[in-house]
Structure 1
Amino acid sequence: MQEVLLKYFPQINQTQLKQFEQLEIIFPEWNNKINCISRKDIDNLFVNHILHSLSIAVKFNFDKTHSIADIGTGGGFPGIPLAIMFPQTKFDLIDSIAKKISVVSAIKEQLDLQNITAINARAETLMPKYDFVVSRAVTAFPKFYNIAKNIILSKTEHNKQGIIYLKGGNFDEELKNFKNFQIYNISELFDYEYFETKKIIYLPISQKKQQKFLNKK
């Protein structure tokens, strides 16, 4: 694991490396108690979940001025790996299923991740206070957009905010009513077969006309 992380993230420090190593050990233990990801996939935890989450860190550089929401975080992906990578950034990890949030809370304490808040709630009930919303394909993108856009700040000090969504397969139909989005092929970031069809969708949220158009549907 260390070799791979240092290859793609040469700026990573020893504290972060240790936290990632601990995460790879303790997450399967929690997953045996509370099923957050498929138990068939647990042997692929590093590539399919940790590294997949970190693809966002290749393309986006969060800092102490940013506030990030991870909607439908499940057992903490992509939020926990991103919180390790960006220790100065505030992350709220949100899920409506209490037992999954209990796993996030426990891992937060075990890894001493002071920049994470675990929230058991539906995202629709939250106030707009985030610069970015991240997630891993919890639903079709248009449905996710209509949830996420309501908790993103309309203006921020750096005038940059939006949705960052990890998704695989063909989603042309889901994006046909959107403009100005960007797609990054994760296969171009990491040299693993798993990422062959995986993408990052980035949609800047300051698109008032687009929001009105979608709200009519």
Structure 2
Amino acid sequence: MSNLIKQYFPSLTEHQQHQFDALYDLYKEWNAKINVISRKDIDNLYLHHVLHSLSIAKFISFVGRTKIMDVGTGGGFPGIPLAIFFPEVRFLLLDSIGKKIKVASEISTAIGLQNVEFAHSRVEKEKRTFDFVVSRAVMSLPELVKTTQKNISSQHKNALPNGIICLKGGDLTHEIKPFTNKVKVIPLTTYFNEPFFETKHLVYLPIIK
């Protein structure tokens, strides 16, 4: 496993370490067939994709039986790293592009994840409810709220109210303006020291019904 992950998450079990270790070869193999990560970026898998995804685990420790939908998961980010980290949490990884879901599903099976299911679908068609929706730069926050607030359960079980947690980069001023009084924006440099994270943020918007 990349020492980077262990550095920031030293309490991983041996099983989790093995699962994280396996990701590089699996993504490299699958990415050669179906491009889910920029080919020049595959060597940065642990920094740019795995650790980036795990910033959500720095922000909140989900309790067991929490249900999470990863919208626009692509090759499985942030869903697969989070599913490794939170084995007692249930994840739905959703994407409208079938070949990307295939890669995420195959990798999930290869590392033995038991807490993940997959949907080749558009989020607008998903009717089930979840405690949290997570995503990584898939769409603007207003659009994400519009398409997923129907999926947020009104029954809360975590330390934070149910809602949307997304990972974004750049200037978010315009995007978060409609939610100024409710949204929380955390620079990822709060959690990680690497320069890659200097322009990256975690955005949390509670959805109270």
Q: Which residue of 2 aligns with 1:213?
A: none
How many residues align? The count is 207
Q: Which residue of 2 aligns with 1:184?
A: 186
- Which residue identity does 1:153 align to in structure 2? S
Check conservation: 1:93, 1:117, Cα contact below 8 A.
Answer: yes
* Residue 132 (structure 2) pairs with residue 132 (structure 1): yes
Determine helix, strand or coil for the equivalent of 1:196: helix
Task: Flag structure 2 segments of 5+ consecutive residues without an equivalent.
Answer: none
Q: Which moved more, 1:141-150 or 1:75-84?
A: 141-150
Q: Which residue of 2 aligns with 1:160?
A: 161
Check conservation: 2:167, 2:201, Cα contact below 8 A.
Answer: yes
Alignment of 1:1-217 (within 5 A): 1-158=1-158, 160-178=161-179, 179-206=181-208
Q: 2: CA distance between counterparts of 1:187 and 1:146?
A: 29
Check conservation: 1:2, 1:17, Cα contact below 8 A.
Answer: no
TM-score (ref. length: structure 1): 0.91
RMSD value, Cα: 1.4
- Which residue identity does 1:168 align to in structure 2? G
Check conservation: 1:64, 1:89, Cα contact below 8 A.
Answer: yes
Check conservation: 2:131, 2:153, Cα contact below 8 A.
Answer: yes
What displacement does 1:204 show? 0.5
Check conservation: 2:66, 2:157, Cα contact below 8 A.
Answer: no
- Which residue identity does 1:52 align to in structure 2? H
Determine helix, strand or coil for the equivalent of 2:61: coil
Task: Flag structure 1 segments of 5+ consecutive residues without an equivalent.
Answer: 209-217
Q: 2: CA distance between counterparts of 1:128 and 1:175?
A: 26
Q: 2: CA distance between counterparts of 1:145 and 1:152?
A: 10
- Which residue identity does 1:202 align to in structure 2? Y
Query: Which contiguous aligned blocks of 4+ residues in structure 1 show a shift greater than 6 angstroms?
Result: none
TM-score (ref. length: structure 2): 0.95
Q: What's the % identity of the aligned pairs?
A: 46
Determine helix, strand or coil for the equivalent of 2:84: helix
Q: 2: CA distance between counterparts of 1:142 and 1:28?
A: 34
Cα deviation code 1:182-209 (max 9, x no counterpart):
1111112111111001000000010x5x
Q: 2: CA distance between counterparts of 1:147 and 1:61?
A: 25
Determine helix, strand or coil for the equivalent of 1:139: coil
